Amino acid sequence: MEKGIRISDLLGNEAKWLGKRVIVQGWVKTRRDSKAGVGFIELNDGSSLKGLQVITESGGGEYGAVLAKITTGSAILAEGVVSESPGKGQSIELRAERLHLYGGADPATYPLQKKRHSFEYLRQIGHLRPRTNTIGAAARVRSRLSFAIHQFFQERGFHYIHTPIITASDCEGAGEVFRVTTLDPARPCGEGAEDPYRGDFFAKPAFLTVSGQLQAEIYALALGKVYTFGPTFRAENSNTSRHLAEFWMVEPEMAFHDLDDNLETALAFIKYLAAAALRECPEEVEFFSRFIDPELEKRLHNAAESSFEVITYTEAVDILKKSGEPFEFPVEWGGDLQAEHERYITEKVFGKPVGIVNFPRTLKPFYMRVNEDEKTVAAMDILVPGTGEIIGGSQREERLDVLLEQMRLKGVARDDYRWYIELREFGSAPHSGFGLGFERLVQFVTGIPNIREVIPFPRTPGHAEF
Ligand code: ATP
Ligand code: MN
């Protein structure tokens, strides 16, 4: 007899399992009893969206006693023979000859009912929501895409680099960082002293990283092609459906790559991931297309198979100005593109992923490479329908004199970036990279509208539960 069989294995290899005796273990999704005394349990073990139909017979003794206690939400074991199912909706079922109840769930208080719950409600029960179809499916897609990301880079000769989570360099030079300190805010040690950080753990200001890019650059200028994939933190004080305070970012960094090479890699990456989702998660993609976003499958095929559009920032501004759309935020050359602008371009104008390149120098951080016009930098954003910006990247400034000038213009202190400057003094080389927001990718691939549903435990302003 086979123990520890996963339901996905049974349902995916029906011919192999028919007539075999197996043990399955999981959670009861629904239970229904016919008048004739036959019971139908839908058992889910998390291996797939679909559950296994377990058939029970009314009876006395141990079997009957256990059966009487099995309710929705219970964790059980069922042992029996895999049989052909006469019913609709499944081709095989398990005729349970032995049942074991690991843990029951009182139907009066179990928070997951058979009806559809709102995402807001499910967020409050983050400890139980992975048992729902949508959150469970999102978790499986997330896992599979993580693997596909490593595959993409490893197949292409990139090395996986672990960049630090605690950092003393604030990558963008912007606010929005979380401080890391061992000082007690109630008793700030060293107050009034010359150096308020004297008693602090690192003896200087430290933060949770907002990006691994600068450290990835160090390794790209030694190992050639590298990537990071890890948690990133931004104290974004905005409540949007695509921002988290803690999110995962994928950041490749490549020596001897200019902006065109960077763009090519990013577009191949999106294509690869869309194809991987269609190939590896067909059950989930079909589910999300049916219940969350009817356009999903078409969008994924579009991203996996068709070409992408690439336009300059200046062209994007022209398109937006001529569109006649009543945007909430006005469009002027030199201003940031807002989410509504991004979505208009990728959804309404092109209907596919779009790369936007060469942004105004004043908009972007000091490390982006200055173009010949001296007004723009070699930056790129990639927008996808439904989500908007999914990737931000650039060619990095490798020329020492231009970098120093950029730092001066943007008020970035040289002392804080001594090592970054030295990389331009010793064996500098053209290089590029980008950052993909992993949760935005999962949103793109599932059609789930709010980013809080595609990460197990979302952190947003005022929320750090579980
Ligand atoms: P946005 O304009 O959407 O805030 P950004 O310009 O701040 O994005 P980058 O600094 O370029 O983003 O970061 C690279 C990628 O990381 C973005 O393209 C996006 O996919 C993702 N990202 C950025 N901020 C967040 C966040 N707060 N939560 C989730 N993903 C994020
Ligand atoms: Mn941002």
Pick the atom of ligand 1 nearest to 244's CA: 28
CA–CA gap between residue 214 and residue 420 (Å, rounded): 8
Whether residue 97 has pLDDT greater than 80:
yes
Q: How confident is the model at residue 234 (pLDDT cuts 50, 70, 90)?
A: very high
Q: How confident is the model at residue 115 (pLDDT cuts 50, 70, 90)?
A: confident
Pick the atom of ligand 1 nearest to 245's CA: 27
CA of 217 to the centre of ligand 2 (A): 21
CA of 289 to the centre of ligand 1 (A): 25
pLDDT of 189:
59
From atom 31 of ligand 1, which residue's Cα is the shortest distance away? 437
Binning the chain into helix, strand and coil, the percentages to the nearest 5 are 35, 25, 40
Using a pLDDT cut of 70, give the percent of the chain over it: 97
CA angle (397 as vertex; 391, 401 as ends), nearest 5: 160
CA of 336 to the centre of ligand 2 (A): 11
From atom 30 of ligand 1, which residue's Cα is the shortest distance away? 437
Architecture of domain 7-110: Beta Barrel (2.40)
From atom 20 of ligand 1, which residue's Cα is the shortest distance away? 437
Using a pLDDT cut of 90, give the percent of the chain over it: 87
Alpha-helical segments (H) within 163-258:
213-223
Other C-beta atoms lying within 10 Å of the C-beta of residue 167: 19
CA of 280 to the centre of ligand 1 (A): 26
Task: Report the residue among 145, 237, 389 best suited for mutation to probe ligand 1: largest number of ligand atoms under 8 A from its CB.
Answer: 389
From atom 8 of ligand 1, which residue's Cα is the shortest distance away? 389
Mean pLDDT is lowest, of 45-49, 186-190, 367-371, 382-386, for 186-190
Whether residue 456 has pLDDT greater than 80:
yes
pLDDT of 89:
76
CA of 7 to the centre of ligand 2 (A): 41
CA–CA gap between residue 52 and residue 17 (Å, rounded): 13
CA–CA gap between residue 67 and residue 178 (Å, rounded): 52
pLDDT of 175:
62
- Proximal ligand: closest to the CA of 249: 1
- Proximal ligand: closest to the CA of 251: 1
Task: Return the residue matching tokens 């989570």.
Answer: 165
Pick the atom of ligand 1 nearest to 336's CA: 2
Pick the atom of ligand 1 nearest to 393's CA: 11
CA of 171 to the centre of ligand 1 (A): 13
Q: How confident is the model at residue 173 (pLDDT cuts 50, 70, 90)?
A: low
Whether residue 403 has pLDDT greater than 90:
yes
CA–CA gap between residue 78 and residue 228 (Å, rounded): 43
Whether residue 170 has pLDDT greater than 80:
no
Quick one: CA dihedral 76, 80, 85, 86, positive or negative? negative
CA of 437 to the centre of ligand 1 (A): 6
Q: What is the pLDDT of residues 244-286, one digit of tens each?
A: 999 999 999 999 999 999 999 999 999 999 999 999 999 999 9
CA of 151 to the centre of ligand 2 (A): 28
Per this entry, what is the length of the chain? 466
CA of 268 to the centre of ligand 1 (A): 20
Enumerate residues lining ligand 1, CB below 6 A.
234, 236, 243-244, 247, 249, 389-392, 435, 437, 439-440
pLDDT of 424:
98
CA–CA gap between residue 75 and residue 464 (Å, rounded): 28
From atom 29 of ligand 1, which residue's Cα is the shortest distance away? 243
- Per the DSSP assignment, residues forming a β-bridge with 388 are 384
Q: How confident is the model at residue 2 (pLDDT cuts 50, 70, 90)?
A: low
pLDDT of 194:
73
Whether residue 191 has pLDDT greater than 60:
no
Domain boundaries of the chain, sorted by first residue: 7-110, 129-163+210-453, 175-209
CA of 91 to the centre of ligand 2 (A): 49
**CATH code of the domain made up of 129-163+210-453:** 3.30.930.10
CA–CA gap between residue 252 and residue 161 (Å, rounded): 10
Contacts of 42 (CB under 8 A, 6+ apart): 28, 29, 30, 31, 51, 52, 53, 54
Mean pLDDT is highest, among 238-242, 302-306, 379-383, for 379-383
Whether residue 171 has pLDDT greater than 60:
no
Looking at every residue in the chain, the average pLDDT score rounds to 94
From atom 19 of ligand 1, which residue's Cα is the shortest distance away? 437
From atom 1 of ligand 1, which residue's Cα is the shortest distance away? 389
Task: Report the residue among 211, 440, 457 best suited for mutation to probe ligand 1: largest number of ligand atoms under 8 A from its CB.
Answer: 440
From atom 12 of ligand 1, which residue's Cα is the shortest distance away? 392
Count, in order, helices (H) and strands (E) of the chain: 14, 15
CA–CA gap between residue 416 and residue 1 (Å, rounded): 65
DSSP state of 292: T
CA of 237 to the centre of ligand 1 (A): 13
pLDDT of 197:
84
pLDDT of 188:
64
Residue 316: both structure tokens together? 């994007």
Q: How confident is the model at residue 86 (pLDDT cuts 50, 70, 90)?
A: confident
Q: What is the pLDDT of residues 306-346, one digit of tens each?
A: 889 999 999 999 999 999 999 999 999 999 999 999 999 99
From atom 25 of ligand 1, which residue's Cα is the shortest distance away? 243
Task: Report the residue among 243, 438, 443, 444 best suited for mutation to probe ligand 1: largest number of ligand atoms under 8 A from its CB.
Answer: 243
Mean pLDDT is lowest, of 10-19, 124-133, 188-197, for 188-197
CA–CA gap between residue 434 and residue 171 (Å, rounded): 13
From atom 7 of ligand 1, which residue's Cα is the shortest distance away? 392
